[in-house]
Structure 1
Amino acid sequence: MGATVDQYLQQLDAGRRPELPETTTGTVRLDVRSGGCTDHWYLTIADQHVGVSRSADDADLVIRADRAIFDRMARGELHPGGSLLRNELTVQGDMRLLMPLRRIFSGPTGARHPRELGRAALVGRTHTPARDERS
């Protein structure tokens, strides 16, 4: 994963992203503030694909934050929803697109989904009979 949001978005694969719900469609503009300037990134989400361009066009959801916040999201250190609750970023528009953004900015390298960890723990357990089976 890139060290900055710019590096991450530039290398974002335009291929199919099965982790995105098939029904998710919309546009997201990221307004990245740094040193009195704002860089704009425009994401188009449709059919489990994400297109990335540089544009200040209107979008279904506009997310504004300092570059340091977006950089931490790109590294998997921050969750967009948590950042919103801590007032680290502001949003305007269709909030339903905020949670799929978490799947675009995936977690840290080597991170695993909690369900995967639970399944792995279950595989390691030995079968113990239920109370009714013990008699």
Structure 2
Amino acid sequence: MGEATERFFASLPARAPAVLHGPAIGTLQIDLSNGHRTEHWLVEMGPGSARVSRESRPADAVWSSSEDLFERLVTGRDQAVAAVFRNEATFSGNVVLFLAFRRFFPDPPGTRDPCQMARQQAGRAT
């Protein structure tokens, strides 16, 4: 398991109040494979909260991918939805949980907030 992935999961409870808003309530199991071994993570999500464990039990939704792909997601080098469309990852269950969870992933390096860019441009024009 990569260090970035370990740090990512460790950071979820502290980041949840700023990331999780709205109706995302339930459990998301994340299965990360590397050859013949699969690591399991269980994220229990609610408005403004997340609890992470290494349990493998029934969940409301399941994400499955390689450890390598997930490492790219947690470092902003890849996009979760694009990975599903490329068939590099699978997702089943409550899609609201996936849409909420993907907000934890960082933006790609060099990405700029369009609203912030517009404010900067407006400030230069005055």
2:71 corresponds to 1:43: no
2:86 corresponds to 1:86: yes
Identity over aligned pairs, percent: 28
Aligned to 2:124: 124
Unaligned runs of at least 5 residues, structure 2: none
Runs of 4+ in 1 over 6 A off after TM superposition: none
| CA RMSD after TM alignment | 2.2
Aligned to 1:61: 61
AA matched with 1:25: I
1:40-92 superposed Cα distances (whole Å, 9 cap, x missing partner): 00111112111111111111110000000000111111221111111110011
Unaligned runs of at least 5 residues, structure 1: 127-135
Distance 1:15 1:7 in 2: 12
Distance 1:108 1:49 in 2: 24
Q: Which has the higher Rg, Structure 1 or Structure 2? A: 1
1:17-59 superposed Cα distances (whole Å, 9 cap, x missing partner): 2232232212111000012100000111112111111111111
Distance 1:118 1:88 in 2: 35
Q: Which has the higher helix share?
A: 2
Distance 2:86 2:33 in 1: 17
What TM-score do you get using the length of structure 1 for normalisation? 0.79
Matched pairs, number: 125
Aligned to 2:8: 8
